[in-house]
Amino acid sequence: MTRWWRIIRPLMPPNWLSTVIFVSAMPFLVVLIMMWQEPLLPPGRIGDLLKVRDIWAIILAGFYGMWRAGSGHPLVDEQYRNWLAISPWLPDQHRLPFGSLFLGPRDVVVLLILTAITAWGGLTIYASLVAFLVTYSIIAAIVIWDGGARIHGWVILLVVTSLPLLLNLGHLAWLPLLGLLPVIYDGNLRCLRGLREHQWIAGPLKERLKSSPNPLGWPFGSLYPMPPVIQLRRSARSRSGSNSSRQFGCWRSRRGGPQPRCPAWPL
């Protein structure tokens, strides 16, 4: 048993049990506190208590969605990203060492508990799920967009912002949100794969962009040594694509028009 626990425990996300207990206990705690303060409730007040409980559950589901989308994400936590960048971590070969980004059984458990709470004599059973999906999708869209998967980010934001237009679907209005989960999964996957190739380019590029154009101030700016141009080996396909874009650029510049003065950076 001990050996089994020693093998299994490191594979579990940190604090998952405490998260489940906290999330599920809070709404009940609120109800208990209110009942303790006013033990002889008139029949009309029970409905009020149930509303408070539901609002608590929805708020918790929303916070849980935010936390789940942003917590433990290397694109959000710069120190974590830098730590990964000097380790042999590879997105296709290793799990993220400090917990998965993707939704799993523990999230299903948390959502089932919250749904069960709101289902008993309260709001619709979908309320907690919708709150979770909305906040999870918004934060995930921002992170994914920042991580380079721009199309995924836009699609997610488009669906989430158009949600009020779908309200005439009634109880089925949350279904498009469920449809976003594969998009978020794919977006996260792309961002992680992007880290493999660009994680050490990201540093100098970021510094360069931050410090641009004149980090030292006049008259020393021209002395600032710029980071070197990193030449990555490219596949034949991307090389031909790059050549095509260069040819297009030459053709465009010969036709006249403004020529942007941007530094060459082989991204």
Partner 1 sequence: MIQLDNVTQHYGVRPILIDLSLNILENELAVVLGPNGMGKTTMLRVMAGVLAPQRGTVTIAGHQRRNSVEDEIAIRSQTVYLPDDVWLPGTMTGREYLLHVASLYGVDALWAMEHADQLLQLFQLVREGDWPMRSYSSGQKKKISLCSSVISQAPIMLLDEPFSGGLDPAGIFAFKRILQRLIQKQVATVVLTTPVGELVEELAGRVIVVRHGRIAADGSVAELRRQSKAGGPLEEVLEQLVHPQLMESILAYFDVVENR
Can you tell me which residue has the tokens 């961002």? Answer: 191
Region from 26-34, 91-99, 169-177, 183-191 binding partner 1, contact rule CB under 8 A: 91-99
Q: Which residues between 220 and 239 bind partner 1 (CB under 8 A)? A: 220, 223-228, 230-233
Binding status of residue 15 toward partner 1 by CB under 8 A: yes
Structure tokens at 172: 């089925």
Q: Which residues between 92 and 151 bind partner 1 (CB under 8 A)? A: 94, 97-98
> Can you tell me which of 39, 88, 105, 164 binds partner 1, judged by CB under 8 A?
88
Environment class of residue 18 by beta-carbon count within 10 Å: exposed (0-12), middle (13-18) or buried (19+)? exposed
Region from 6-14, 140-148, 154-162, 238-246 binding partner 1, contact rule CB under 8 A: 6-14
Environment class of residue 254 by beta-carbon count within 10 Å: exposed (0-12), middle (13-18) or buried (19+)? exposed
Give me the half-sphere count of Cα atoms (radius 13 Å) on the Cβ side of residue 83. 11
Binding status of residue 266 toward partner 1 by CB under 8 A: no
Region from 1-9, 124-132, 134-142, 168-176 binding partner 1, contact rule CB under 8 A: 1-9
> Can you tell me which of 4, 10, 236, 260 binds partner 1, judged by CB under 8 A?
10
Helix 150-161 × helix 127-146 angle, to 10°: 150
Binding status of residue 8 toward partner 1 by CB under 8 A: no
Can you tell me which residue has the tokens 């149930």? Answer: 50
The smaller minimum CB distance to partner 1, of residues 45 and 206, is found at 206
> Can you tell me which of 197, 214, 243, 266 binds partner 1, judged by CB under 8 A?
197
> Can you tell me which of 82, 155, 157, 159 binds partner 1, judged by CB under 8 A?
82
Contact 141, 183 (CB under 8 A): no
The smaller minimum CB distance to partner 1, of residues 22 and 98, is found at 98
The nearest distance, CB 205 to partner 1, in angstroms, is 10
Binding status of residue 267 toward partner 1 by CB under 8 A: no
Structure tokens at 79: 């120190």
Region from 56-64, 152-160, 219-227, 247-255 binding partner 1, contact rule CB under 8 A: 219-227
Q: How far apart are CA 231 and CA 57, in angstroms?
A: 52
Residues in the chain: 267
SS3 label, residue 166: helix
Binding status of residue 64 toward partner 1 by CB under 8 A: no
Within the chain, where are the H helices? 2-8, 16-37, 43-70, 78-85, 105-119, 127-146, 150-161, 175-211, 236-254
Contact 191, 148 (CB under 8 A): yes
Binding status of residue 200 toward partner 1 by CB under 8 A: yes
Binding status of residue 208 toward partner 1 by CB under 8 A: no
Radius of gyration of the chain from Cα atoms?
Answer: 25
State the residues that interact with partner 1 by CB under 8 A. 6-7, 9-10, 14-15, 79-80, 82-83, 85-90, 94, 97-98, 196-197, 200, 203-204, 215-216, 220, 223-228, 230-233
